[in-house]
Amino acid sequence: MKNTVPMAPGPSKEKTLRHHFLGYGFALLVGVLGANQARGDCSLTYTGRVPLPDLGPGQYGGRQGGLYPGGTNNPPPAHAQAAFDIANALRPLDANGNTDNTNGRVVVLSIGMSNTNQEFGSFISLANGDPAKFSRTVLINGAQGGKDIPLWLDPQAATWAQVDSVLANNGLTPAQVQVAWIKQAYKQEASYGAFPTHAQQLRDDLGTVVRNLRLRYPNIKLAYLSSRTRAYTDNPADLNPEPYAYETGFAVKWIIEQQISGDPALNPHASQGPVMAPLLLWGPYLWADGEQPRSDGFVWHCSDVVADFTHPSTSGRQKVAEQLLAFFKTNPTTVPWFLKRGVSGQAPVLSSVAASPTTGSAPLAVQFSSSSHDPDGNVTQVAWTFDDGTYAYGANPFKYFPSPGSYNARVCVTDNQGNTARDQVTVNVTP
């Protein structure tokens, strides 16, 4: 059968991506470029800053990049294994928090302000329309417009009461919440100081938020955190301008590193003392430097924001939704509770998954390929993630790996009945 894929922001053509990637190589060598003249308009197409996954062991403002400790883009094996074990143990819960595989629910909750609310709302529509989603998994938009992170620090704050009201309106209880997606920020981030001060404060406040999640939702086990998207303003007086939008990604990196390092205030393991927080992982990395493609070809156009140059437009919301969907359909810690169980008719056949080359020195250019068909229908979607917060749609994506590491490129093929087939190929990138 002929493969078809949904409209999605896939990688740029290989030639274009190779050309633009030279800019990242230059930025990695020389560090952050000088500040641009402050402006809030569509001319802010390039800042010279490098997305954290692409920065890897390189530095920004004296601080190492990468998503995880040591400038890497993969969680340490013990942390990854713990998350995998938790994911495979999640079961639908009834209103009292007891396992109920027939009528129970796995509630996935978003926490954040207006950008998060708009983006997760688009994701809910996209995911609920995907026949591959597990029917027992319920997506609840707890993010609230205008409610930045200081309004979430008190566990008895009105923001949390509003989340519980949304749960109740959907026939759900706090005991059924097991997963969260967090994308938080400050209003007027510049007022919190220059880097790294504002990012350190945000890190600490994120710690309070995840502890509040544990206080209010006793069965929460996993929390995925994401960076902000790209702003088209660097006016410090604006809501969330550059470079602050970029720099908040470090706050996510640092709070996860604190948990990995064994901070008891963020302990997720009952075997190691009182459980204080869910296990923390990176979700999708959402920032890209405007028209400069990041390593998967993803760009953030001025048309992806509205007139304030910060909030996402319809196309911007859709881009985030599609990246979230690719993440939830491919990540080994989400697949067990996000994808449906059982097969309707016949499952698609993923006959081959390959990468060329599979090893080499950074930056490594890799062409991926896959072959699939559906015996009783059509393949409707081919989604990839690359183990570093990036993604692609389509059978044969192209990607650069700027940072050394071992990357599992994961692919999920979906047919018109919501059946899926998954596979992966490993790419080893040396320094």
Domain residues for the domain of 371 are 347-430
Assess whether 206 and 103 both reside in one domain.
Answer: yes
CA angle 398, 400, 403 (to 5 degrees): 155
Assess whether 209 and 279 both reside in one domain.
Answer: yes
Assess whether 124 and 252 both reside in one domain.
Answer: yes
CATH number at 173 reads 3.40.50.1110
Q: What pLDDT is recorded for position 400?
A: 97
Q: What pLDDT is recorded for position 40?
A: 72
Assess whether 183 and 124 both reside in one domain.
Answer: yes
Assess whether 261 and 400 both reside in one domain.
Answer: no
Q: Kindly state the tokens that stand for 23.
A: 């800019």
Position 218 in a domain:
yes
Q: Which 8-state DSSP code applies to residue 390?
A: -
Assess whether 141 and 198 both reside in one domain.
Answer: yes
Q: What pLDDT is recorded for position 360?
A: 98
Domain count, the chain: 2
Strands 63-64 and 59-60, sheet pairing: antiparallel
415 forms bridges with which residues in the sheet?
A: 379
Q: What pLDDT is recorded for position 39?
A: 59
Angle, helix 314-330 to helix 114-128, in steps of 10 degrees: 60
Assess whether 250 and 394 both reside in one domain.
Answer: no
Q: What pLDDT is recorded for position 17?
A: 53
323 forms bridges with which residues in the sheet?
A: none
Rounded mean pLDDT for each run of 10 residues along the chain, 431 residues in total: 38 45 42 43 95 98 98 97 98 98 98 98 98 98 98 98 98 98 96 97 98 98 98 95 98 98 98 98 98 98 97 98 98 98 95 98 98 97 98 98 97 98 98 92
With left for phi above 0 and alpha for psi between -120 and 50, is residue 10 left, alpha or beta? Answer: beta
Assess whether 261 and 359 both reside in one domain.
Answer: no
Assess whether 95 and 244 both reside in one domain.
Answer: yes
Q: What pLDDT is recorded for position 5?
A: 39
Q: Kindly state the tokens that stand for 92.
A: 């639908």
Assess whether 283 and 413 both reside in one domain.
Answer: no
Position 32 in a domain:
no
